[in-house]
A = this chain, B = another copy of it.
């Protein structure tokens, strides 16, 4: 009933967060001795994951769940695999063509499941089915499909059905709905004060849809839902997990907690008590307890003392065996890691990006030849920007047009405001767990105001947050051409820059021979 976190990398010296990520000696000991349910992995490439998952399965007595937070395709977490734009890109498409959005949600589920299994991941911690009806939400944001429960429901069903082409588990999260919060449950416990009717009409709708589509698991949220339980967050609430989810909604799959080390629950009680309370509430799987051995012992003691029944434990074990049976007993062909991220998979990404892009109606940006120009790229944090590789289109395309790169983050942005060159401004900032909207706080807004006043911004591309776009549309002169893309990765940069400047792939290739295959 326990899933622990470890690194997707092969070697312990690659572990960056030792408090959260079990080292190899610790992990192999746990797997040999504790009969853990599974692991959740972060970091590494597709190839690393394949070798890593083989190693983990060998270390373990029983076949493991191997889970990952792959909400934007496997490529979001593991390089080399297909990297989809955030789910809200599909919601954008749904605004004009729900059928097309549903088609791509299905494909996204299918490709994600195929690639996950190709490298040994059998439990997809996705889709996010939260309805993002709070633009200030620092943690869900574009990870959600949309702000409408109906659209989220349709896309959720399609994603799950697509994934069902392969024997991997899907997960609807975060029950009963994390979309209307303005604080981050990684850090604190957000409180939801809506009444029962509102929750049933908005937040619960996509979960019902997921259950109808036979989602394999549902992840609980660390949220205090006042209308249902004034004392316990959903993760630890029997009336919510058992009363609402099991009994009222009739979900009979796996209930998995969100990570128990997160601030939203970890601060509430001792970790022994948290483990017991989660099981008591109705959770089948405890994700990332502080100490797995301690969690097992405290659940065992709770059974011995009569606080938990043996039947309650057996009920969870049965569900776990059923889920593992789905994963390990099937006749599907074994997928080869070499077959991941083929052109047809990447074309789906390209199409989602193409149909979800937003632009001003005064394109293209025409660049003056003789002027001194800069390509000012603002990122949230230079040390946490995986999209910043060499040869990325966001640098290459402006560079071919003589824009000089200036790459800054929050710590250096204010210093480059004095530069008076004509500026292409590219912003890579989105809400993110732990960091929230840190890159777009009041100081940053002040800096953008100063830039806008100087009338040097000749073009604007925003990658990630439509809420930041909304701010700019209100604040900037309407004659500035702009492009907005939900994604931040190479394909997204190519499509956005090519759209802004109206440049085809063949025009680009006539300017440089050394361009990869991401250009459209």
Structural contact, B80 and A48, CB atoms closer than 8 A: yes
Interface of chain A residues 16 through 49 with chain B (CB within 8 A): 16-20, 44-48
A18-B514, A383-B395, A389-B383 known; A52 vs B47 contact (CB < 8 Å) = yes
In contact, B15 and A517 (Cβ under 8 angstroms): yes
Binary interface profile of A, 439-452, with partner B (CB < 8 Å = 1, else 0)? 00000000000000
Mask for A506-520, Cβ within 8 A of B = 1, else 0? Answer: 000000011111100
Name which of A15, A388, A514 has the most chain B CB atoms within 10 A of its CB: A514
Instruction: Decide yes or no whether A390 CB sits under 8 A from chain B.
Output: yes
Q: Which residues of B contact A50 (CB under 8 A)?
A: 47, 51
Query: Known contacts A51-B337, A513-B19: does B415 contact A80 (CB below 8 Å)?
Result: no
A351: interface (CB < 8 Å): no
Given that A405-B411, A412-B406, A415-B416 are known contacts, is A16 also in contact with B47, CB under 8 Å in the complex? Answer: no
A499 at the interface (CB under 8 A from B): no
A9 close to B (CB within 8 Å): yes
Interface size on A, residues (CB 8 A): 55
Comparing A66-74, A149-157, A252-260, A338-346, the segment that makes contact with chain B is A338-346
The verdict on A268 contacting chain B, using a C-beta distance below 8 Å, is no
User: A18-B517, A409-B407, A415-B418 are contacts. A10–B383 as well, Cβ < 8 Å?
Assistant: no
Q: Are B341 and A80 in contact (CB under 8 A)?
A: no
A448 to chain B, nearest CB (A): 17
Q: Which B residues touch A45, using CB under 8 A?
A: 9, 44-45, 47-48
Q: How far is the CA of A384 from the CA of B46 in the complex (A)?
A: 22
Q: Per-residue 0/1 for A336-359: is the Cβ within 8 Å of any B Cβ (1 yes, 0 no)?
A: 011011000010000000000000
The residues of B that contact A407 with a CB separation of less than 8 Å are 382-383, 409, 411-412
**Interface 0/1 of A240-275, CB less than 8 Å to B:** 000000000000000000000000000000000000
Q: Does A454 contact B (CB under 8 A)?
A: no
Q: For A516, give its contact among B10, B16, B390 (CB under 8 Å).
A: B16
Closest B residue, CB atoms, query A517: B13
Q: Is the CB of A408 within 8 A of B412?
A: yes
Q: Is A12 an interface residue (CB 8 A)?
A: yes
Contacts of A193 in B (CB 8 A): none
A470 at the interface (CB under 8 A from B): no
Selected from B340, B415, B514, B517, the residue in CB contact (under 8 A) with A415 is B415
Residues of B contacting A337 in the complex (Cβ-Cβ under 8 angstroms): 10, 51
Residue A196 lies at the interface, judged by CB distance under 8 Å to chain B: no
Q: Contacts of A415 on B, CB cut-off 8 Å?
A: 412, 415-416, 418-419
- B residues within 8 A CB of A9? 45, 80
B-facing residues in A474-520 (Cβ within 8 Å): 513-518
Known A382-B382, A382-B388, A391-B16: A11·B48 in contact at CB below 8 Å:
no
Binary B-proximity of A392-420 (CB < 8 A = 1, otherwise 0): 10010000000011111101100110110
Task: Indicate if A325 sits at the interface (CB-CB under 8 A).
Answer: no
For A391, what are the chain B residues with a Cβ–Cβ distance below 8 Å?
16-17
Min CB distance A149 to B, Å, is: 36
Residues of B within 8 A of A419 (CB): 415
- Could you tell me the distance between the alpha carbons of A419 and B418 in the complex, rounded to whole angstroms? 14
A58 to chain B, nearest CB (A): 10
A55 at the interface (CB under 8 A from B): yes
Interchain CB contact under 8 A, A11 and B80: yes
**A13 touching B516 by the CB < 8 A rule?**
yes
For A12, the chain B residues whose CB sits under 8 A away are 517
Q: Which of B10, B346, B513 contacts A80 (CB 8 A)?
A: B10
Contacts of A80 in B (CB 8 A): 9-11, 14, 48
Q: What residues make up the interface of A, taking CB atoms closer than 8 Å to B?
A: 9-20, 44-48, 50-52, 55, 79-80, 337-338, 340-341, 346, 382-384, 388-392, 395, 404-409, 411-412, 415-416, 418-419, 513-518
* Additional A-B contacts beyond A9-B80, A19-B513, A51-B51 (15; CB < 8 A): A10-B337, A10-B340, A11-B340, A11-B341, A14-B79, A16-B516, A18-B516, A19-B514, A44-B47, A45-B45, A47-B51, A406-B412, A407-B409, A412-B415, A415-B415
Report the 3 A-B pairs with minimum CB-CB distance, sorted nearest first: A47-B48, A415-B415, A16-B391
